[in-house]
Amino acid sequence: MREVRVFAPATVANVACGFDILGFALEQPGDTVRAGLSEGKEVKILSISGDSGRLPLDAAKNTAGVAVRHFLDHLGEERGIEIHLEKALPLGSGLGSSAASAVAAVVAANVLLGEPLSREELIPFTLEAERAACGAAHADNAAPAMLGGFVLIRGYDPPDLVRIPAPEALCCAVVHPHIEIRTEDARKILRREIPLEDAIVQWGNIGGLIAGLMKGDYSLIGRSMKDVIIEPVRSLLIPGFEEAKQAAMDAGALGCSISGSGPSIFALGNDRRKIEAAGQAMQAAFAALHIDSDLFVSAINNQGPTVLNSF
Sequence ranges of the binding site: 90-100
CA angle 79, 112, 88 (to 5 degrees): 110
Q: Which of 27, 86, 130, 231 is catalytic?
A: 130
Evaluate the CA torsion angle 26, 94, 23, 217 in order and state its sign: negative
C-alpha distance from residue 25 to each of 54, 144, 164, 165, 166 (Å) = 24, 5, 11, 10, 10
**What would the 3-class secondary structure string for 194-230 be?**
CCHHHHHHHHHHHHHHHHHHHHCCHHHHHHHCCCCCC
- Contact yes or no for 43/80 (Cβ under 8 A): yes
Q: Are 270 and 218 in contact (CB under 8 A)?
A: yes
Contacts of 90 (CB under 8 A, 6+ apart): 97, 176, 294
Beta strands 43-49 and 80-86 are: parallel
What is the enclosing helix (H) or strand (E) of 233? Answer: helix 231-234
- Catalytic residue status for 32: no
Annotated binding site for ATP: 90-100
Residue 59 region, left (φ>0) first, then alpha (ψ -120 to 50), else beta? alpha
* Alpha-carbon radius of gyration of the chain: 19
Cα–Cα distance for residue pair 152/144, rounded to 1 Å: 9
Catalytic residue among 11, 32, 63, 183: 183
- Look at the alpha carbons of 108, 150, 15, 186 in this order and tell me if their dihedral is positive or negative: negative
Is residue 66 helix, strand or coil? Answer: helix
Residue type at position 47: S
Active site residue 193: no
Active-site amino acid positions? 130, 183
